[in-house]
C-alpha cells in the first residue's frame, strides 16, 4: 500500500517544493517506488524534476476535474527517476471548478485508489495556501510533513496549519496525522535559529525530525538544471541531509 504524505505549509518560500523534489529523488534512490504530485499552479516541482510544464498534454488539473486518469497524466522524471503528476497554470482554474463538482475535496484521493499498489510513497507538493487544492492533498494523505525555517514568525503560522489539519482529521479524513516538522534552510551560526530549533524540540518532541536541512546553495541551484539537489550534487551538505531525511521517513512509516 502506498503511503501518502502532503508537504504543506501555507507560507510561501519555506522549502516545500525543495523538500518534495529531494525527498522523492532520495526515496527513489533508496529503492522506494515514488510518485510526486505537484499541486501548485506554479509548477516548480514539475520543472525541478526536469519536466517542461509548458509542454504538458495532461496534468494534475485534468485528473482533478475528471478529464484524465492518473495514468494518462503522469510522467517520469528523467533526472530523478520517480514519477510525477505534473502541474502548470491550468491548475489555477481548478480551485473554482472544483467547487461545483461532486466529492470536491476527495478528487485526488479517488484518483489515487487504483494506483495504490504501484508506489511505496506518494508525496504531494501543496501550494502556499489553505485552499481547495491543499484540502484535496490533505484528504488524500496519511500524514503531513511540515517544512519550516527556524524563525520567530514560523511558530505563528504553524498554529493555523495545525488547526486546519485537526479540522480535516475530525471531519474529512480520520487517517490524517502530522508526521513531523522538518527544519530547513538552517543556519547553525544564528543564535535565534538555534533557540527556535530548541523550542520546537521541547514543544513538539519526537514530531520534530532528527534530520536538519542546512541552507545550501547547491539545493537552490539544482532546479535551474531540472534536477533534484540529491542528483545534481550528491556530496553537498544539503543533499546529504535530504538523504538522511529519506532514511528517517523509511523508518518512520514502519511505525505508522
Interface contacts to Mg ion, rule CB under 5 A: 16-17, 44
Q: Which residue has the cell 504538458?
A: 56
Smallest CA-to-CA distance from 86 within 97, 78, 74 is with 74
Q: Rule CB under 6 A: say whether 16 interacts with ligand ADP.
A: yes
Q: Rule CB under 6 A: say whether 17 interacts with ligand ADP.
A: yes
SS3 at position 154: helix
> How many of the chain's residues bind ligand ADP (CB under 6 A)?
17
User: Distance between CA atoms of 124 and 132, rounded to whole angstroms?
Assistant: 14
Q: Rule CB under 6 A: say whether 149 interacts with ligand ADP.
A: no
For ligand ADP, which residue of 12, 66, 78, 188 counts as binding (CB under 6 A)?
12
Residue with the CB atom nearest Mg ion in the bound state:
17
Binders of ligand ADP among residues 181 to 220 (CB under 6 A) are 184-185, 213, 215-216, 219-220
Pairing of strands 75-76, 34-38: unpaired
Binders of ligand ADP among residues 30 to 59 (CB under 6 A) are 44
Grid cell in block for residue 237: 551538505
- Which are the contacts of 254, defined by CB distance < 8 A and separation ≥ 6? none
Q: Rule CB under 6 A: say whether 18 interacts with ligand ADP.
A: yes
Q: What Rg, from alpha-carbon coordinates, does the chain have?
A: 17
Q: Which residues bind ligand ADP (CB under 6 A)?
A: 12-18, 44, 128, 184-185, 213, 215-216, 219-220, 238
Amino acid at each position: 500500500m502506498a503511503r501518502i504524505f502532503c508537504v504543506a505549509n501555507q507560507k510561501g518560500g519555506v522549502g516545500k517544493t525543495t523538500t518534495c523534489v529531494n525527498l522523492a529523488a532520495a526515496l527513489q534512490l533508496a529503492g522506494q517506488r515514488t510518485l510526486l504530485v505537484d499541486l501548485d499552479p506554479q509548477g516548480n516541482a514539475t520543472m525541478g524534476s526536469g519536466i517542461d510544464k509548458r509542454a504538458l498534454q495532461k496534468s494534475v488539473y485534468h485528473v482533478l476535474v475528471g478529464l484524465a486518469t492518473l495514468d494518462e497524466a503522469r510522467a517520469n522524471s528523467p533526472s530523478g527517476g520517480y514519477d510525477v503528476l505534473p502541474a502548470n497554470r491550468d491548475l489555477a482554474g481548478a480551485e473554482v471548478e472544483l467547487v461545483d463538482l461532486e466529492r470536491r475535496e476527495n478528487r485526488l484521493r479517488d484518483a489515487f485508489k487504483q494506483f495504490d499498489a504501484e508506489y511505496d510513497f506518494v508525496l504531494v507538493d501543496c501550494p502556499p495556501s489553505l485552499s481547495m487544492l491543499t484540502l484535496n492533498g490533505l484528504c488524500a494523505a496519511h500524514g503531513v510533513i511540515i517544512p519550516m525555517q527556524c524563525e520567530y514568525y514560523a511558530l505563528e503560522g504553524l498554529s493555523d496549519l495545525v488547526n486546519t489539519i485537526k479540522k480535516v482529521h475530525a471531519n474529512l479524513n480520520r487517517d490524517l496525522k502530522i508526521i513531523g516538522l522538518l527544519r530547513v534552510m538552517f543556519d547553525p551560526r544564528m543564535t535565534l535559529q538555534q533557540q527556535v530549533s530548541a523550542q520546537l524540540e521541547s514543544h513538539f518532541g519526537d514530531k520534530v525530525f532528527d534530520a536538519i536541512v542546512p541552507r545550501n546553495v547547491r539545493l537552490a541551484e539544482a532546479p535551474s538544471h531540472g534536477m533534484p539537489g540529491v542528483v545534481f550534487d550528491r556530496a553537498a551538505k544539503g543533499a546529504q541531509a535530504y538523504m538522511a531525511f529519506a532514511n528517517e521517513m523509511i523508518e518512520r512509516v514502519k511505525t505508522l
